């Protein structure tokens, strides 16, 4: 036992001084590795190690080169590589990645497409502070599929990865790492040191990102990536901002915004919507006594008691009814919305109504302030305003107004003159969410923590009417995990509201997939677009390039580094003094929205490239980006260029855990993406994701079993189809693909599969051009099923060379064209598996047509002459009959191995009957029946009508049930009339052809007949049995046993084997085997003989006992060996020792080659030791 130094495989090869099985032939040493393969390796090891043994033998050939001389007439090569039936898709992909790296595949493909039309693609930048999740992998798969397709269509597709390097995610990580809690701690640390720390972690997971994205099979440039922290990127952002200012869209103002007290910064509305959760807050009703009516109070309800110290007004709905109601128990009189009295009193008998009035009647009424902190505002404040945003669905129908802490509050108070635009408004809360000294009773307290103290003070002053707790959904900061508040902050704004109509119009120029995202979600967001606060009171970000005077009367917006250098030291006021830069940095969404310009440093460089590539041909992200990146891209493009920034956008839904919840590391409710790829491969994950509702912006409940299902239902059938082809080519050896030969085939199944693959090309190109990925993949998957379960199944004998040489060449050429076309079609979706197939198909192509990668090939174009709708219909009709026949067999538990007498097709459509008659040989074989009978006997069939519930229900509404019931009672005559006319009137409604379907029902005797039907066909299987059918069934069982034993033994199609059998004398099966032995040989492709004829020197590979009905049969597979007739050899007059050497020589040679030589020459020739 030795170990191969090259392949590491444990070999039983003998290593004596003189190798065993070696003989001297014409002065040379000869060693037959083919026989060694069987005698020394395979037969002494488990068959499962066969692949390794083959690799070992290959290496042994290399090791002995120069020592052993292999005779030229035995070195015939086989171009088609061996394909092991045991496949590991993840390992296959790892090998492919290594190959791509070896040929620098991605960069090579880019160089090959230089000079071709540009297909522009924008890749949204993720943060590198976390690892990629399924959402990233999904979007990456969509992007990679589309851009690969564009490349194969003849475009040059630049694909650069990008990184979002600024903003809260980075700051949050640093503050967590350094234990920083407050803004003051950052200032104490020093902004330069703080930013240095942020810069240090920006790319901490970049290598993991690159590894995962590359392992997914995505081709994108990481070496030439863009980063939002690069000076060139930030300079372009400055330019965008400067242009926005020049066009009059920039202003400074106050805006009530979602505010994170944990991060001390306002957030965008998008960020505010990221982390809602159920929380418990106090719900209080507070009284506001009227100034001019002692003893009467307004009552307002709120869940934010901390805003009450800043109250400046109350608001009612002008159209609602309000009452003045007196509490029978306490005598208190309250003004409240009539429909909301239950907020204070459980039943109507607890109060009396003293007056009733509309909300408009309350406008302007003054009330006494709750707290004295802003009594200086009394001239304009502490009065009732009216606005329709107040509802009667909750609370008291009266809303307290704190304009610094609510968007509606701010708007209402501004509209009613309670506050004045441009002036400061009462906002006694600092950046950490603590009350300032103005609120003397609660100064320094965190606002949410002060709720109970505020309520206690109000209770002590008899202003608290009611207090309870409310569980409701409330926004939290997505980074600091603290509850958000709404707070008026000074910010720099882009006046988006000025271009609402232009935004809506530009959006209509873009193709959205799915379209409803644009028509509903995004359109509604644009129609109500608010001015965009683009500044953040933070430190790690692109500085806002605004220089202001101290009185804020003079302002300069700088648009480039050069401009800054020119003005440095000279930023002076006209009246003296110096301008200073504002402290804020950009919202990182502004940087992302500037990406089309900043990624190529436009307009400072690449002006021509920008003009050619803007707007982008394609982008893709998740549905959450409708209020994020999609929106910011469109806003800036509309303002700067008056056109949309992208032409096509694919929007994906969210990937959820299998239980429908959000994927959570804490809950561990989903499998790690890297583990899934290691287990099933990236192609399986890609196809699972992209062939799901998630590419239609719907949510996907991720199931690992779904990825596994892709392997079982798609990849393995496809792989075994390819392997079947490879084995057939290896066995046939003479094959050279010929497309013209395939196109000239007169075989119906050849014509059908070529027509089908060309129809697929037409469909896929059309749908891919429309970005309908969800429509494309089901068709591709369906075609693979048609190829494996229909074409290959029907053409095995032809492909194996059992019909004729011409037919084998035609069928193999047809299958080659189909497999190569399918490989190209699927390449953008499953880049690894298609590369594996192509590398093994390309060796059959003429050398000048071979490319190094399938991804260098053009996408398939349709061959018009191959399209054949008539053939497609013909085969579809045949398939209907076969599928119905199989259904009938299953219902009567008649397995396929049971031969049956006949199948009858009952159909009044002459074309249908003609189609199946022309293909009856396939039907007879596939259904294992002896006869196909055609009948149009209408007496045996009744038509039954059924409504299409979905279509009719949507159209008819309440009338549907009545019409549906009537459809079910239509007579056979009425249905036949409907079939000929195409419509029918039922209960006053005209029902068209696609709103009901007709099924056929058999009326004959079913004792020994089994019917099956669909809307197109009805068949009847005759279940009567006879002796001949029983014998045929026995033969089929034996064939199945032989094929099963071959598979179990691990022999390959090109291996030369023999089958021997033993059946007891007198057993019925013994006679059947003798009579049908020729048919068995034809079906299995190997010699089959009684065991008594076996050569005594034959090596047994596998054996087993089986039963066929009541008969027993023993089967044995042996290595095919040569036999010698000693009497004939003796007539040659040669010495016995010499004849022994001759016999040894020929028995060491590979059996098939010896037989080929004998068949070709009619004799065997050898020259040994001078004897010829």
Confidence of residue 566 (pLDDT cuts 50, 70, 90): confident
| Per-residue pLDDT, 36 | 37
Q: What is the mean pLDDT of residues 983-1002?
A: 80
Confidence of residue 58 (pLDDT cuts 50, 70, 90): very low
| Higher-confidence position of 1147 and 338 | 338
Confidence of residue 635 (pLDDT cuts 50, 70, 90): very high
Between CA 149 and CA 411 the distance in angstroms is 50
Question: For residue 569, is pLDDT > 80?
Answer: no
Contacts of 248 (CB under 8 A, 6+ apart): 495
Tell me the average pLDDT of the chain: 84
**pLDDT tens readout for residues 217-265:** 999 998 888 888 889 999 999 999 999 999 999 988 888 888 988 878 7
Same domain, yes or no, for 719 and 811?
Answer: yes
Question: For residue 395, is pLDDT > 70?
Answer: yes
Measured in degrees and rounded to the nearest 5, phi and psi for residue 594 equal -90, 0
Alpha helices in 104-133 (DSSP H): 105-112
Same domain, yes or no, for 294 and 437?
Answer: yes
Same domain, yes or no, for 79 and 144?
Answer: no
Same domain, yes or no, for 1012 and 977?
Answer: yes
Assess contact for 823 and 837: CB atoms under 8 A: yes
Is 902 among the domain residues?
Answer: yes
Q: What is the mean pLDDT of residues 495-515?
A: 92
Which of 985, 942, 992, 994 lies closest to 966, judged by CA? 985
Residue 845, SS3?
Answer: coil
Is 258 among the domain residues?
Answer: no
**pLDDT tens readout for residues 867-887:** 999 999 999 999 999 999 999
Is 884 among the domain residues?
Answer: no
**pLDDT tens readout for residues 207-218:** 888 899 999 999
| Per-residue pLDDT, 63 | 32
Between CA 873 and CA 752 the distance in angstroms is 9
| Per-residue pLDDT, 62 | 32
Boundary-marking domain end, from 974, 1004, 1022: 1022
Whole-prediction pTM: 0.75
Question: For residue 373, is pLDDT > 90?
Answer: yes
Instruction: Give the count of domains, the chain.
Output: 5
Q: What is the mean pLDDT of residues 894-917?
A: 88
Between CA 38 and CA 1097 the distance in angstroms is 14
Q: Return the C-alpha torsion angle 853, 854, 856, 860, nearest 10.
A: 160
Between CA 278 and CA 284 the distance in angstroms is 18
| Per-residue pLDDT, 672 | 86
Same domain, yes or no, for 735 and 861?
Answer: yes
CATH of the domain at 837: 1.10.730.10
Distance of CA 680 to the CA centre of its chain: 15
Residue 54, SS3?
Answer: helix
Contacts of 338 (CB under 8 A, 6+ apart): 320, 321, 322, 323, 356, 397
Residue 450, SS3?
Answer: helix
Same domain, yes or no, for 417 and 300?
Answer: yes
Assess contact for 267 and 255: CB atoms under 8 A: no
| Per-residue pLDDT, 71 | 25
Assess contact for 992 and 947: CB atoms under 8 A: no
| Per-residue pLDDT, 67 | 26
Three-class HEC string of 517-559: HHHHHHHHHHHCCCCEECEECCCCCCECCEEECCCCCCEEECC
| Per-residue pLDDT, 269 | 67
Same domain, yes or no, for 367 and 456?
Answer: yes
Counting other chains too, the contacts that 1042-1049 makes at CB distance below 8 Å and 24 or more residues apart are 1042/1080, 1042/1084, 1042/1086, 1042/1088, 1042/1115, 1043/1084, 1045/1102, 1045/1103, 1045/1104, 1045/1115, 1045/1117, 1046/1084, 1046/1086, 1046/1117, 1048/47, 1048/1102, 1049/47, 1049/1101, 1049/1102, 1049/1117
Q: Look at the chain and count its residues.
A: 1172
| Higher-confidence position of 1002 and 1092 | 1092
Query: What percentage of the chain exceeds 70 in pLDDT?
Result: 90
Between CA 881 and CA 970 the distance in angstroms is 26
Confidence of residue 34 (pLDDT cuts 50, 70, 90): very low
Measured in degrees and rounded to the nearest 5, phi and psi for residue 1036 equal -60, -40
Same domain, yes or no, for 419 and 349?
Answer: yes
Confidence of residue 312 (pLDDT cuts 50, 70, 90): very high
Same domain, yes or no, for 35 and 91?
Answer: no
Boundary-marking domain end, from 85, 120, 142: 85
Catalytic residues: 125, 164, 589, 625, 629, 662, 665
Is 1167 among the domain residues?
Answer: no
CATH of the domain at 317: 3.90.740.10
Please list, residue by residue across 66-100, b when 16 or more beta carbons sit within 10 angstroms of its beta carbon and e when fewer do. Answer: eebeeeeeeeeeeebebbeeebebbebbbebbeeb
Of 117-131, 376-390, 651-665, 1121-1135, highest mean pLDDT = 376-390
Is 830 among the domain residues?
Answer: yes
Residue 982, SS3?
Answer: coil
Is 468 among the domain residues?
Answer: yes
Same domain, yes or no, for 674 and 747?
Answer: yes
Same domain, yes or no, for 688 and 833?
Answer: yes
Is 62 among the domain residues?
Answer: yes
- CA 1107-1109-1115 angle, to 5 degrees, is 25
**pLDDT tens readout for residues 1017-1056:** 888 998 887 778 788 888 888 888 888 888 888 777 667 8
Which of 443, 468, 461 lies closest to 288, judged by CA? 461
Region of residue 1008 (left: phi > 0; alpha: psi -120 to 50; beta: else): alpha
Question: Among the listed ranges 2-11, 181-190, 821-830, 997-1006, which one has the minimum average pLDDT value?
Answer: 2-11
Question: For residue 676, is pLDDT > 60?
Answer: yes
Boundary-marking domain end, from 40, 62, 85: 85
Confidence of residue 446 (pLDDT cuts 50, 70, 90): very high
Is 321 among the domain residues?
Answer: yes
The domain containing residue 951 runs over which residues?
893-1022
Between CA 555 and CA 547 the distance in angstroms is 6
Same domain, yes or no, for 1061 and 1094?
Answer: yes
């Amino acid at each position: 036992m030795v170990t191969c130094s090259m392949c590491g495989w444990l070999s039983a090869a003998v290593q004596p001084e003189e190798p065993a099985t070696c003989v001297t032939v014409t002065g040379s040493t000869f060693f037959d590795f083919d026989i060694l393969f069987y005698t020394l390796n395979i037969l002494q090891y488990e068959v499962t190690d066969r692949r390794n043994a083959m690799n070992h033998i290959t290496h042994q050939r290399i090791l002995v080169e120069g020592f052993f001389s292999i005779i030229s007439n035995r070195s015939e090569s086989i171009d088609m590589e061996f394909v092991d039936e045991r496949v590991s898709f993840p390992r296959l992909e790892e090998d492919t990645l290594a190959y791509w790296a070896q040929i620098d595949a991605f960069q090579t493909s880019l160089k090959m497409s230089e000079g071709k039309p540009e297909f522009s693609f924008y890749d949204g930048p993720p943060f590198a502070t976390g690892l990629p999740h399924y959402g990233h992998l999904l979007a990456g798969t969509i992007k990679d599929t589309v851009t690969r397709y564009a490349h194969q269509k003849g475009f040059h597709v630049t694909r650069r990865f990008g990184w979002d390097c600024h903003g809260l995610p980075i700051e949050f990580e640093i503050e967590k790492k350094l234990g920083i809690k407050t803004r003051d701690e950052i200032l104490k640390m020093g902004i330069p040191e703080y930013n240095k720390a942020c810069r240090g972690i920006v790319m901490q997971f970049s290598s993991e990102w690159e590894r995962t994205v590359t392992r997914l099979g995505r081709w994108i440039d990481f070496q030439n990536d863009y980063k939002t922290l690069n000076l060139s990127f930030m300079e372009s952002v400055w330019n965008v901002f400067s242009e926005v200012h020049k066009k009059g869209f920039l202003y400074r103002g106050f805006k009530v915004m979602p505010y994170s007290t944990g991060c001390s910064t306002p957030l965008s509305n998008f960020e505010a919507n990221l982390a809602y959760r159920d929380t418990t807050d106090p719900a209080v009703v507070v009284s506001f006594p009227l100034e001019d009516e002692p003893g009467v109070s307004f009552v307002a309800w709120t869940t934010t008691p901390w805003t009450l110290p800043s109250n400046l007004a109350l608001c009612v709905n002008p159209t609602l009814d309000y009452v003045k109601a007196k509490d029978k128990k306490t005598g208190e009189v309250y003004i409240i919305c009539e429909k909301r009295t239950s907020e204070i009193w459980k039943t109507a008998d607890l109060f009396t109504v003293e007056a009733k009035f509309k909300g408009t009647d309350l406008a302007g009424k003054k009330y006494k302030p709750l707290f004295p902190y802003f009594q200086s505002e009394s001239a304009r404040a502490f009065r009732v305003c009216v606005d329709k945003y107040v509802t009667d669905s909750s609370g008291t129908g009266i809303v307290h107004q704190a304009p610094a802490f609510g968007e509606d509050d701010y708007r209402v108070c501004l509209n009613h003159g309670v506050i004045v635009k441009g002036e400061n408004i009462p906002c006694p809360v600092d950046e950490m969410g603590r009350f300032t000294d103005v609120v003397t009773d609660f100064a320094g307290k965190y606002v949410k923590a002060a709720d109970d103290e505020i309520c206690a003070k109000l209770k002590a002053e008899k202003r608290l009417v009611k207090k309870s707790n409310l569980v409701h959904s409330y926004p939290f900061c997505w980074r600091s995990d603290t509850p958000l508040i709404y707070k008026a902050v000074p910010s720099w704004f882009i006046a988006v509201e000025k271009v609402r109509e232009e935004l809506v119009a530009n959006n209509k120029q873009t193709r959205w997939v799915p379209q409803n995202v644009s028509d509903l979600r995004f359109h509604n967001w644009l129609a109500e677009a608010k001015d965009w606060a683009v500044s953040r009171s933070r430190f790690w970000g692109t500085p806002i390039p605004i220089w202001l005077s101290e009185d804020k009367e003079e302002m300069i917006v700088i648009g480039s580094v050069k401009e800054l250098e020119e003005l440095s030291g000279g930023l002076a006021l006209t009246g003296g003094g110096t301008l200073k830069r504002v402290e804020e940095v950009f919202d990182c969404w502004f940087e992302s929205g500037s990406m089309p310009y900043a990624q190529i440093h436009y307009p400072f460089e690449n002006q021509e490239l920008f003009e050619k590539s803007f707007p982008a041909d394609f982008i893709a992200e998740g549905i959450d980006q409708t209020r994020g990146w999609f929106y910011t891209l469109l806003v800036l493009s509309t303002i700067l260029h008056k056109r949309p920034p992208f032409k096509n956008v694919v929007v994906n839904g969210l990937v959820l855990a299998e239980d429908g919840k959000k994927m959570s590391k804490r809950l561990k409710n989903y499998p790690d993406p890297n583990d899934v790829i290691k287990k099933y491969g990236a192609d399986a994950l890609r196809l699972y994701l992209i062939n799901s509702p998630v590419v239609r912006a719907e949510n996907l409940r991720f199931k690992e079993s779904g990825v596994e299902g892709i392997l079982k239902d798609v990849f393995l059938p496809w792989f075994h189809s390819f392997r079947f082809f490879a084995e057939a080519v290896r066995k046939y050896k003479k094959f050279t693909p010929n497309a013209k030969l395939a196109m000239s085939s007169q075989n119906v199944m050849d014509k059908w599969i070529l027509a089908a693959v060309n129809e697929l090309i037409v469909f896929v190109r059309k749908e891919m051009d429309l970005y309908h990925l969800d429509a494309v993949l089901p068709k591709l998957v369906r075609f693979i099923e048609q190829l494996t379960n229909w074409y290959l199944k029907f053409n095995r004998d032809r492909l194996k060379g059992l019909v004729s040489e011409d037919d084998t060449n035609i069928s193999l050429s047809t299958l080659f064209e189909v497999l190569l076309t399918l490989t190209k079609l699927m390449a953008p979706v499953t880049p690894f598996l298609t590369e594996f197939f192509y590398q093994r198909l390309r060796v059959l192509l003429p050398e000048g047509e071979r490319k190094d990668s399938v991804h260098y090939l053009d996408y398939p174009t349709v061959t018009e002459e191959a399209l054949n709708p008539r053939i497609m219909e013909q085969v579809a009709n045949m398939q209907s009959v076969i599928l119905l026949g199989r259904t009938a067999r299953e219902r009567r538990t008649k397995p396929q191995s049971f031969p049956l007498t006949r199948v009858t097709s009952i159909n009044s459509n002459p074309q249908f009957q003609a189609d199946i008659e022309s293909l009856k040989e396939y039907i007879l074989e596939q259904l294992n029946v002896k006869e196909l009978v055609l009948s149009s006997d209408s007496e045996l069939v009744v038509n039954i009508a059924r409504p299409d519930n979905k279509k009719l229900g949507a159209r008819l509404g309440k009338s549907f049930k009545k019409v549906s019931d009537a459809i079910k009672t239509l007579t056979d005559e009425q249905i036949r009339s409907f079939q000929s006319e195409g419509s029918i009137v039922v209960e006053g409604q005209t029902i068209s052809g696609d709103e009901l379907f007709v099924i056929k029902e058999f009326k004959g005797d079913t004792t020994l007949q089994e019917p099956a039907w669909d809307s197109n066909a009805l068949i009847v299987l005759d279940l009567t049995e006879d002796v001949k059918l029983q014998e045929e069934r026995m033969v089929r069982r034996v064939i199945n046993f032989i094929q099963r034993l071959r598979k179990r033994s691990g022999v390959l199609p090109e291996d030369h084997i023999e089958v021997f059998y033993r059946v007891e004398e007198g057993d019925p099966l013994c006679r059947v085997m003798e009579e049908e032995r020729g048919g068995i040989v034809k079906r299995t492709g190997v010699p089959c003989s009684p065991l008594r004829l076996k050569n005594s020197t034959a090596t047994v590979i596998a054996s087993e006992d089986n039963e066929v009905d009541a008969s027993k049969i023993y089967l044995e597979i042996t290595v095919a060996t040569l036999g010698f007739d000693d009497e004939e050899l003796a007539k040659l007059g040669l010495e016995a020792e010499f004849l022994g050497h001759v016999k040894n020589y020929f028995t060491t040679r590979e059996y098939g080659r010896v037989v080929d030589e004998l068949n070709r020459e009619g004799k065997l020739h050898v020259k040994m030791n001078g004897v010829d």
